[in-house]
Amino acid sequence: MFTEKDVKYIASLSRIHLNEEQTAQFSKDLEKILSYVKKLEQLDVSDVKPTSHVLPLKNVYRNDEIKPSLTQEQALKFSVEQHNGSFKVPKVIE
Amino acid sequence: MNYNELTAHEILENIKAKKCSASDVYNATYEHIDKVEDKVNAYVRVAPKEDTTSSIDETASTPIPIAIKDNICIENKETTCSSQILKGFTAPYNATVIDKLKNTGAIFVGHANMDEFAFGSSTENSSCGVTHNPWNLNHVPGGSSGGSTAAVAANEAIWAIGSDTGGSIRQPASFCGVVGLKPTYGRVSRYGLLAFASSLDQIGPITKDMTDSALLLNILAGYDPMDSTSANIDVPDYTQSLVNDVKGLKIGIPKEFFIDGIDPEVKDGVNEAIELLKKQGASFQEVSLPHTEYAVATYYIVATAEASSNLARYDGVQYGQRKMASETRKTKLVDMYEETRAQGFGEETKRRVMLGTYCLSSGYYDDYYLKGLKVRTLIKNDLDKVFEECDAIITPTSPTTAFKIGEKAKDPLSMYLSDIFTISANLSGIPAVSLPCGFSKAGLPIGLQIMAKPFDEQMLFKIGYTYEQQTPWHKKRTQLT
């Protein structure tokens, strides 16, 4: 069972605030989807290698060369608040 | 003659013969948008006519009006994934595909509507309103690239580009009666595409016929140092594969794809297409993809896990909207994250981010995410095995024609199951195309899906083009006024 307590925990990991009504609704939705997903339990995959990616790529490196890129000013332009050339956020600790 | 109803290859012939100019085509397209866009809502933003007109290059190789899905960055244009959280965000650079299109003179008509962050199969999950199917305005256009396919079907653009993570180009192409192609994973650069599931996403062309699809893929395809997952493999001229010949080709029909619950009219449409290709000399054999029934479950683990990670960046710090918690709640950093995402994300986005977070969370990773990756291997192996014997596979694109607006909106799982036939191509990385193969009695288009081996898009063009030479479906146009 996927309980409302589970939903609250997952919502906090996901950094999404939910109200009580949403918590109840998502608990129903996720319970339904996860019980459908459980059909994978029918398969024995103990000897199967996982596929995280379909191309045979390992680490892709580029030469360590400086190329044109966004300036600090351009990169900061899209943020809500800046301070002394940095992103400004609400306080982290009391 | 209405220029906006033509294909690009017809327009280019007309321009060459000096029967019309690129501006004529753009003006006809823009005037038509003015007339029908209120009914269709294909676009989230249409570029101002004055700006666009001044940038038209009459001497360019393909000065074709094109709609761009709202998850592909155009420099200095708002690009939002049809989400509130990115409202006001203007892209600081062009996606590689946009630069490539620009170099050929393509005319950017506007950003097309989509399910928020491409999460959906109906374009109902957009924060910019629902897009309507141009063949019947009470029905959905499919999704998530429903704005792009509706724009082409409604003659509000000659071309469009979309992105396909589990069927998001092919399923709406099927619902809107246009050609939508998902290239092989790695064929087209994704630099500048806002990521959904990075091991599955692929950009591809949406057009009125296979010839235009080849022209547009010729522009989009190719290696890009800015996308480390793009493949450094030569790109053929796809127009060379537009040949009316399928003699000797072996095509597989997976028995698992003709399941109960498939709309009989869809089944008939696809079977007629198979008969027609048989007459042209292709041979068909029944094949088995035994793990098909696990594809949707696998996809919703892998795709949501990757999405939950990719969407972590929308936190109100570097770009997009920031929302502070109300006074009754705390005002620390984490409260800002939670409130920004609570207000900025739509319901389906929250559902998927939470599902993905759950599948990756401590204690559940092995049972869900790792298991999903292993079943993905089985699904890929099934396809590899079929392609040892067959040149291509033919299936319906979706089990039904376009459903009614609102019909599946309250049941996420039934919505997910409308992608059952398209997902395997993403999980295994192979190319696949949907093209129209008839209409239901109610007048809604039916889509035929062709899948081929990795980097063998030529096979899709060969079979699709041959089919088009024998059929009228790709010449049908909607008549909205």
Average of per-residue pLDDT values in chain B = 96
Is B263 inside a domain boundary?
no
Across the A:B interface, residue pairs with CB atoms under 8 Å apart total 156
Three-class SS string for chain B? CCHHHCCHHHHHHHHHCCCCCHHHHHHHHHHHHHHHHHHHCCEEEECCHHHHHHCCCCCCCCCCEEEEECCECCECCECCCCCHHHCCCEECCCCHHHHHHHHCCCEEEEEECCCHHHCCCCCCCCCCCCCCECCECCECCCCCCHHHHHHHHCCCCCEEEEEECCCCCHHHHHHHCCEEEECCCCCECCCCECCCCCCCCEEEEEECCHHHHHHHHHHHECCCCCCCCCCCCCCCCHHHHCCCCCCCCEEEEEHHHCCCCCCHHHHHHHHHHHHHHHHCCCEEEEECCCCHHHHHHHHHHHHHHHHHHHHHHCCCCCCCCCCCCCCCCCCCHHHHHHHHHHHHCCHHHHHHHHHHHHHHCCCCCHHHHHHHHHHHHHHHHHHHHHHHHCCEEEEECCCCCCCECCCCCCCHHHHHHHHCCCHHHHHHCCCEEEEEEEECCCCCEEEEEEEECCCCHHHHHHHHHHHHHHCCHHHCCCCCC
Is B140 inside a domain boundary?
yes
Is B170 inside a domain boundary?
yes
B86, B77 in Cβ contact below 8 A? no
Is B292 inside a domain boundary?
no
- Interchain contact, A50 vs B374, CB within 8 Å: yes
Query: Does residue B424 have an active-site annotation?
Result: no
DSSP state of A57: -
Per residue in B29-76, pLDDT (tens digit) is 999 999 999 999 999 999 999 989 999 999 999 999 999 999 999 999
| Interchain CB contact of A51 with B (< 8 Å) | yes
Nearest CA in chain A to B78: A78
Q: State residue A58's pLDDT score.
A: 79
* Residues of B in Cβ contact (< 8 Å) with A15: 312, 315, 334, 337-338, 341
| Interchain CB contact of B8 with A (< 8 Å) | no
Q: How many domains in chain B?
A: 1
> Which residues have a Cβ under 8 Å from the Cβ of B301 and sit 6 or more positions away?
A37, A40, B359, B368, B369, B371, B372
- pLDDT confidence band for B357 (50 / 70 / 90): very high
**Distance in angstroms (rounded) separating the CA atoms of residues B416 and B166:** 10
Per residue in B180-192, pLDDT (tens digit) is 999 999 999 999 9
The answer, yes or no, to whether residue B270 has pLDDT greater than 70, is yes
| Interchain CB contact of A52 with B (< 8 Å) | yes
Per residue in B146-195, pLDDT (tens digit) is 999 999 999 999 999 999 999 999 999 999 999 999 999 999 999 999 99
CA distance A31 to chain B (A): 10
Q: State residue B331's pLDDT score.
A: 77
The answer, yes or no, to whether residue A91 has pLDDT greater than 90, is no
CA distance A71 to chain B (A): 11
The answer, yes or no, to whether residue B233 has pLDDT greater than 90, is yes
Is B324 inside a domain boundary?
no
Nearest CA in chain B to A26: B351
CA distance A88 to chain B (A): 7
pLDDT greater at residue B416 or residue B90: B90
The answer, yes or no, to whether residue B197 has pLDDT greater than 80, is yes
Is B88 inside a domain boundary?
yes
Per residue in B290-336, pLDDT (tens digit) is 999 999 999 999 999 999 999 999 999 999 999 987 766 667 899 99
Which of residues 9 through 48 in chain A touch B, CB cutoff 8 A? 10-18, 22, 26, 29-30, 32-34, 36-37, 39-40, 43, 45, 48
Q: State residue A44's pLDDT score.
A: 95
Q: State residue B259's pLDDT score.
A: 73
Per-domain residue ranges for chain A?
Answer: 1-43
Is B400 inside a domain boundary?
no
- Mean of pLDDT values over A45-71: 89
* Residues of B in Cβ contact (< 8 Å) with A49: 374, 377
* Residues of A in Cβ contact (< 8 Å) with B371: 40, 45
Interface confidence (ipTM) of the complex:
0.95
Active-site position among B168, B308, B398, B428:
B168
Which of residues 405 through 424 in chain B touch A, CB cutoff 8 A? 412-413, 416
Per CATH, the homologous superfamily of domain A1-43 is Glu-tRNAGln amidotransferase C subunit, N-terminal domain (1.10.20.60)
Query: Does residue B144 have an active-site annotation?
Result: yes
Q: Which range has the worst mean pLDDT, A19-23, B321-325, B398-402, B464-468?
A: B321-325
Nearest CA in chain B to A12: B338
- What domain range includes position B121? 3-248+432-449+460-475
| Interchain CB contact of B225 with A (< 8 Å) | yes
Per residue in B326-350, pLDDT (tens digit) is 766 667 899 999 999 999 999 999 9
- Mean of pLDDT values over A29-49: 94
Nearest CA in chain A to B374: A50
Q: State residue B416's pLDDT score.
A: 85
Nearest CA in chain B to A57: B229
Is B143 inside a domain boundary?
yes
- Mean of pLDDT values over B255-261: 82
B437, B269 in Cβ contact below 8 A? yes
Residue B72's CATH number: 3.90.1300.10
Q: State residue A41's pLDDT score.
A: 94
The answer, yes or no, to whether residue B104 has pLDDT greater than 90, is yes
Q: State residue B261's pLDDT score.
A: 78
Q: State residue B329's pLDDT score.
A: 62
